[in-house]
Amino acid sequence: MTSCIENIEGRAGGTVPLKRLIESDVFKYVFLASILFWGSEFAYHAWVDWAPTLLTDEYGY
């Protein structure tokens, strides 16, 4: 029986070449998901944390 790793990599305990990793769809989706997550995280903190401070400092609200 072959393990899942053997089926994916072609041999047990082998490494995936960097070019093959970057070209894979999973890598692209993970990269896109991380960009979307950190972008939304930045937008949230800009709205919730920084905006009230900016309004208070700049306009005296």
Q: pLDDT, tens digit, for every residue of 3-59?
A: 555 555 555 566 778 888 888 899 999 999 999 999 999 999 988 888 778 777 777
The number of folded domains in the chain is 1
pLDDT of residue 59: 78
Q: Answer yes or no: is 29 within a domain.
A: yes
Is 43 within a domain?
yes
Distance CA 10, CA 3 (A): 10
CA 19 to centroid of chain Cα atoms: 19
pLDDT at 41 (0 to 100): 96
Using CA atoms, how far apart are residues 59 and 61, in angstroms rounded to an integer?
A: 6
In a domain, 11, yes or no: no
pLDDT for 7 equals 53
Q: What does the buried/exposed string (b/e) look like for 2-20 if buried means 16 or more CB atoms within 10 Å of the residue's CB?
A: eeeeeeeeeeeeeeeeeee
Which range marks the domain in which residue 25 is found?
17-59
Q: What is the pLDDT of residue 53?
A: 80
On whether residue 3 sits in a domain, the answer given is no
**DSSP code of 12?**
T
pLDDT of residue 16: 75
